[in-house]
């Protein structure tokens, strides 16, 4: 077990190395898959509202496209780094493979803080990002999507810039678009709902029902919100939600023993997932420290914010009532913390499976966009649920048969699929 803080890319590499050993991969396969196939780092000059010019740093990393065009979101975050994007691109490769989508893995990012930017400035960043990468992305090359602090509106600006540059309508270039502008119904809900479908399947395999289950959630952005909505709708109870407070520049946990009411909380949340502290108090929520979400007497923890939130230095705070952690975020649990959780008998349903509902629905959106024929919401959700149930069953079953963790099982399935594609193409032997 390592105690040295790892970056997301190092985390992704160490998870891969473990599975490469289990699969006895040869050196060429390891050398190919431990690193991205291509990466781009560029400057985005933006004329700000006050007339000054600011240069933002943008990235796109394509980890592997043996199974299909690259796929993955674009994050806006002040602490974004190329290294983080590398790790996230690698995770996208495994996520698309475990969900059995004909897509590869990629990720993008811009170092910026949308809290401090007007919508016009954000639009310029989106357009500038596309201008720098236009020759290396596209419906059959690499397909971006929303991620941390980017929304359907950002996707539409990116699409508009792309279409202007290539001179034709290209709705399959990007996913997560607004409904009515090439977006799929249920894409917004898909990641959070997928988390709950996966949780339900994991509980079912342990002879437990979703009804009556108690959970504590970190993050009330797109993923956290819809996970909370579906979980409470299906009879679960959310005891606490932790989220970022932009004014105080720290996180707080909002807890209420009677449970969280989704609509009520959503009504007092800003577009970045920040909950209004005064209104929350008026509604009877107790405000606690940011890490307190780990300490709630809940059976399930759902980290749905950023990477490395459950680490060696705070994993001991995880309450003794916790049985399972379902990763709504990408990379929320460090390998060292995971080893300690597993030792305590706490299962971790890994990100590549648990949050694959988003990219699965993105795949549906691409299919709809490319054929210019759009499905009903129920049809999208039925297809999503059936894919999530199938992927969850495969992972749960393999973990049981091989006696490995759920993350190792998910990795075994996905790495094997990607290696096979690379071999079939003749890239490696």
Give the CA radius of gyration of the chain: 20
- 29: helix, strand or coil: helix
Q: Quick check: 219 binds ligand GLU (CB under 6 A)?
A: no
Closest to ligand GLU by CB, 84 or 362: 362
Check: CB of residue 170 under 8 Å from CB of residue 159: yes
**CA nearest neighbour of 377 among 391, 361, 363, 393:** 361
Considering only residues 315 to 334 of the shown chain, the ones binding ligand GLU according to CB under 6 A are 330
Closest residue to ligand GLU: CB criterion: 73
Q: Quick check: 147 binds ligand GLU (CB under 6 A)?
A: yes
- Least Å distance between CB 148 and ligand GLU? 8
**CA nearest neighbour of 187 among 364, 373, 328:** 364
Considering only residues 262 to 291 of the shown chain, the ones binding ligand GLU according to CB under 6 A are none
Binding mask 168-207 for ligand GLU (x = CB under 6 A): -------x--------------------------------
Closest to ligand GLU by CB, 85 or 359: 359
Q: Quick check: 60 binds ligand GLU (CB under 6 A)?
A: no
Closest to ligand GLU by CB, 72 or 221: 72
**CA nearest neighbour of 224 among 323, 114, 309, 281:** 309
- Long-range contacts: 27-35, Cβ < 8 Å, 24+? 28/428, 28/429, 29/419, 29/422, 29/428, 32/64, 32/422, 32/427, 32/428, 33/64, 33/93, 33/415, 33/418, 33/419, 33/422, 35/86
Structure tokens at 36: 């991205």
Catalytic residue among 71, 95, 107, 177: 107
Q: How many residues bind ligand GLU (CB under 6 A)?
A: 12
Q: Quick check: 85 binds ligand GLU (CB under 6 A)?
A: no
- Least Å distance between CB 75 and ligand GLU? 8
Q: Annotated catalytic, 107?
A: yes
Rounded to a whole number, what is the distance in angstroms from the first to the last CA of the chain?
32
Q: Quick check: 73 binds ligand GLU (CB under 6 A)?
A: yes
Q: Map 291-317 to HEC letters.
A: HHHHHCCCCEEEECCCCCCECCCCHHH
Binding mask 327-366 for ligand GLU (x = CB under 6 A): ---x------------------------x--xx--x----
Residues in the chain: 429
Closest to ligand GLU by CB, 72 or 192: 72
Binding site for ligand GLU (CB under 6 A): 71-73, 95, 145, 147, 175, 330, 355, 358-359, 362
Query: Which residues are known catalytic residues?
Result: 107
């Amino acid at each position: 077990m390592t105690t040295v803080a790892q970056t997301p890319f190092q985390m992704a590499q160490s998870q891969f190395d473990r599975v490469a050993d289990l699969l006895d991969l040869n050196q060429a396969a390891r050398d190919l898959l431990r690193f991205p196939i291509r990466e781009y780092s560029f400057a985005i000059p933006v004329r700000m509202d006050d007339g000054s010019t600011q240069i933002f740093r943008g990235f796109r990393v394509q980890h592997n496209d043996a199974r299909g065009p690259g796929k993955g979101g674009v994050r806006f975050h002040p602490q974004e780094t190329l290294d983080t994007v590398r790790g996230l691109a690698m995770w996208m490769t495994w996520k698309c493979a475990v969900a059995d989508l004909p897509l590869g893995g990629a990720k993008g990012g811009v170092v910026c803080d949308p809290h401090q930017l007007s919508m016009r400035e954000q639009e310029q960043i989106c357009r500038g990002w596309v201008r720098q990468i236009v020759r290396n992305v596209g419906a059959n090359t690499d397909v971006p999507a929303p991620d941390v602090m980017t929304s359907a509106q950002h996707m539409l600006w990116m699409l508009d810039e792309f279409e202007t540059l290539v001179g034709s309508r290209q709705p399959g270039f990007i996913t997560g678009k607004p409904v009515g502008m090439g977006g799929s119904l249920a894409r917004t809900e898909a990641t959070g709902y997928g988390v709950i479908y996966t949780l339900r399947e994991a509980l079912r395999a342990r002879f437990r029902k979703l009804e009556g289950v108690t959970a504590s959630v970190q993050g009330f952005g797109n993923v956290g919100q819809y996970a909370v909505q579906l979980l409470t709708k299906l009879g679960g109870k959310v005891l606490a939600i932790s989220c970022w407070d932009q004014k105080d520049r720290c996180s707080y946990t909002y807890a209420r023993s009677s449970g969280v009411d989704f609509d009520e909380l959503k009504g007092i949340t800003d577009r970045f997932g920040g909950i209004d502290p005064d209104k929350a108090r008026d509604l009877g929520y107790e405000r606690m420290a940011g890490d307190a979400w780990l300490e709630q007497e809940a059976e399930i923890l759902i980290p749905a914010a950023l990477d490395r939130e459950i680490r060696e230095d705070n994993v001991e705070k995880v309450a003794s009532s916790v049985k399972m952690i379902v990763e709504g975020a990408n990379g929320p649990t460090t390998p060292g913390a995971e080893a300690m959780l597993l030792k305590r008998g706490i299962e971790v349903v890994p990100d590549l499976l648990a949050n694959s509902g988003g990219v699965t629905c993105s795949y549906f959106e691409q299919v709809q966009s490319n054929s210019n024929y759009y499905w009903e919401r129920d049809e999208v959700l039925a297809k999503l649920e059936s894919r999530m149930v199938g992927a969850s069953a495969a992972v749960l079953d393999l973990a049981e048969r091989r006696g490995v963790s759920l993350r190792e099982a998910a990795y075994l399935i996905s790495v094997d699929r990607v290696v096979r594609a690379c071999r079939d193409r003749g890239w490696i032997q």
